[in-house]
A and B are shown apart, each in its own frame.
Chain A
């Protein structure tokens, strides 16, 4: 069996990357920590193969992404249901946008605070908007790949991503104006 020390160094090297993928997809730090633990346990079981592999980071990212999608799959039917309720979904989006601060006070916000606010807004998006948005912008999946991964149509993937961007628009517009 592998020694613990090289594996500990391995976890230290990649833990932020795995956690970031998980927390942005799941929008929840506790769930993200559980998923990250699962991912590293899988990595430990194959440590002999991936330890020195240049594809280790890609492998970890893919496993983290799939584990998150599996984690979310139990809610996927509900997600689809809400997502396909046209007017209700619009109402949810509007409700979320209304919950964002309409006026971002530019002066007191430094860059770190703006980042924290955007990160928080991203995590607060409804699952059906956040997940495809994160897959597109952070995981760099195509619309078609996102549609396949989530089991939805291409048009719906595009619509959900667009609505997710729209939901962040108020915050970004304020930020944009502040510069």
Chain B
């Protein structure tokens, strides 16, 4: 048989073949599978086969969930900035407290300490000089006795 005869011969012979008959068991199997599928709860089936109202409701719920997740993620992304703002505010508040304390100290210095400060400094200096003189005298006495021994 020539090669160019083969294709039309095969095509003709295969086209002449009768359509194979489905086995008798196919229809009962299909109907049983359909009954089993129908008896299953709707949520165990593929989404595309859900009732339309449930498809719409589930799509809406999904959108809501995605929206909430997106909002949550955005909020979480803003939290560090909020924390930083809070820290800056705390630093600013601490700075203000230090400023207040310094102002109070200055007021106290001006009103109470500075007027008596020279006198206090003179007294402290005299006391230090007295202590030094006493110490030197005491040292002379003690050292002189020791040297005399």
Contact = CB atoms under 8 A, between A and B. Distances in A.
Contacts of B35: 4
Query: B11, B14, B18: which has the most chain A beta carbons within 10 Å?
Result: B14
B23 A33 contact: yes
Interface in A115-134: 115, 118-119, 122, 133
Contacts of B33: 37, 40-41
A15 interface: yes
Contact of A137 (B11, B27, B31, B38): B11
B26 A137 contact: no
Interface in A28-55: 29, 33, 36-37, 40-41, 44-45
Nearest to B32: A37
B79 to A, nearest CB: 46
A7 interface: yes
Interface stretch (A84-92, A148-156, A161-169): A161-169
Contacts of A1: 38
A169 B45 CA distance: 48
B63 interface: no
B29 A18 contact: no
Contacts of B13: 118, 168, 172, 175
A11 to B, nearest CB: 5
Interface of B: 1, 6-7, 9-11, 13-23, 25-27, 29-31, 33-35, 37-38, 45-46, 48-49
Pick the 9 closest A-B CB pairs, nearest first: A19-B22, A15-B22, A40-B30, A45-B49, A20-B20, A137-B14, A165-B10, A20-B19, A44-B34
